[in-house]
Structure 1
Amino acid sequence: MWDLTHELGSGLPYPGDPPASVTPHATFEADGYRVADVACSTHSGTHVDAPAHLLEDGATLGAYDVETFAFDARVVDCTDAGAREAIPAGRVPETDADLLVVRTGWSEHWGDEQYFDHPYLTAAAAARCADLGYHVAVDAPSVDPSPSPNASDGDPAGYPAHHALLGDERLILENVTNLRALPERCTVRAFPLRVDADGAPVRAVAGD
């Protein structure tokens, strides 16, 4: 099995989001036991986006049965895509999988500002994923371009890839990691915290 999950509280928060933290609340020395205070957003670390994240009347996580988060995955290698480069619809294969895992290699930049200059899906690529019935996972902070000092006028405005996927009730897994180890076909389990919200951190694990 392969752990596809960043440690919660590591890395940098998405620009504008609150940071995640795991800090001592009670200590063995002072209290005779340990309790940690965990603070995070619904999109901290390795997480899942539900349609309610960007759609006013979108479904929350509570609308999805737990088995939805057990995926038959197809991995597509996009490690040749450069910084802030668009991944076109032609890179989206047609398979019988229900999760497309887009491997860009960008998780290697986790923890530094370069992480936010990741490749991203075009609106057409995201729409093709939705048409083929795929949920999508990426080893980057977003399926759309992220805010960065290196952003350009040529970047798409808004969140077109998110809207194409979430508008079709597809789920989006972001900030996954350790994708280089995965075979082309595998299973992915990415169970979110049980919160009826717009998203939640997940523990994502793959198996062959």
Structure 2
Amino acid sequence: MNIIDLTHTISENMPVYPGTERPKLEVASTYKQNGFKETLLTMFSHTGTHMDSPAHLFFQGTTLDSFSSKQFVGKGLVIDCSDLRHGEKITMKYIEAVKEKVEKAEFILFHTGWDKYWNTSSYFGEYPYISEEITEYLLNSSKKGVGLDVIGIDPISDENLTIHKKLLSKNNIVIIENLTNLDKVGDDLFTFCALPLKFKNSDGAPVRAIAILDDNKQNFNLI
């Protein structure tokens, strides 16, 4: 079994959505003074590799803590669209190219390669984003979730969050943003886990996202 970490590390200097404060990691207790180390974490719920719930945009939307834990684990498929240029749409041709596998998947993850810009100003640029046709496909396909290796599922210029609203208003699908290492997963189905921090009335939360690949080995390879 091969386990691939798809999660960016939270740090004080990490990229955050424009207008959001960066997280703070303050040492609250020390080995010398207290005999142990403890860190006070202060951050917004949509920091780093994170998950959006319907409650992110809608008052009556489902919160992450209301979901069954089954919502966060399932068959995943990475779709390679890293050939796209800045600001181009991910169209249905990428779905159609692997349609048989897509039908079996519960989570669709789009690999744009944008994670290479993490910790640079380019990360907030014109990244690829999903088209209206893919949004409609997701709404009608009963998937558990959709994820990308970019900072938002909408283009950075869309302050109305059009795609977010379409997906989250009519479905209990979740959105995972700021994934990384999707290029290491391959093009076969795998077990995807994205477990959000569980807090009351959570509109979103950081996740530890991993891919579990069955390579017929008895040991674990950690990446």
If the length of structure 1 is used for normalisation, what is the TM-score? 0.90
Matched, 1:143 2:142: no
Matched, 1:160 2:162: yes
Matches within 5 A, 1:188-207: 188-195=192-199, 196-207=201-212
State the Cα distance separating 1:157 from its structure 2 match: 5.8
Q: Which residue of 2 aligns with 1:131?
A: 140
State the Cα distance separating 1:174 from its structure 2 match: 0.5
Q: How many residue pairs are counted as aligned between the two chains?
A: 200
- Residue 93 (structure 2) aligned to one of 61, 65, 90: 90
Distance 1:191 1:83 in 2: 30
Distance 1:157 1:87 in 2: 19
Amino acid at match of 2:192: V
Matches within 5 A, 1:112-123: 112-117=120-125, 118-123=127-132
Matched-pair identity in %: 31
Cα offsets for 1:160-195 (capped at 9, x unmatched): 221222122210001111111102221111111111
Q: Which residue of 1 aligns with 2:8?
A: 6
Cα offsets for 1:62-119 (capped at 9, x unmatched): 2210111002111110101111222123323432211001000001111111112211
Distance 1:124 1:63 in 2: 29
Matched, 1:169 2:172: yes
Aligned residue for 2:166, secondary structure, equals helix
* Structure 2 alignment gaps of length 5 or more: 214-223
* Structure 1 alignment gaps of length 5 or more: 148-155
Checking the alignment, whether the CA contact within 8 Å between 1:106 and 1:115 is kept in structure 2 is yes
Distance 2:95 2:135 in 1: 9
Q: Which residue of 2 aligns with 1:62?
A: 65
Aligned residue for 2:176, secondary structure, equals strand
Matches within 5 A, 1:7-26: 7-9=9-11, 11-26=14-29
Distance 2:39 2:209 in 1: 22
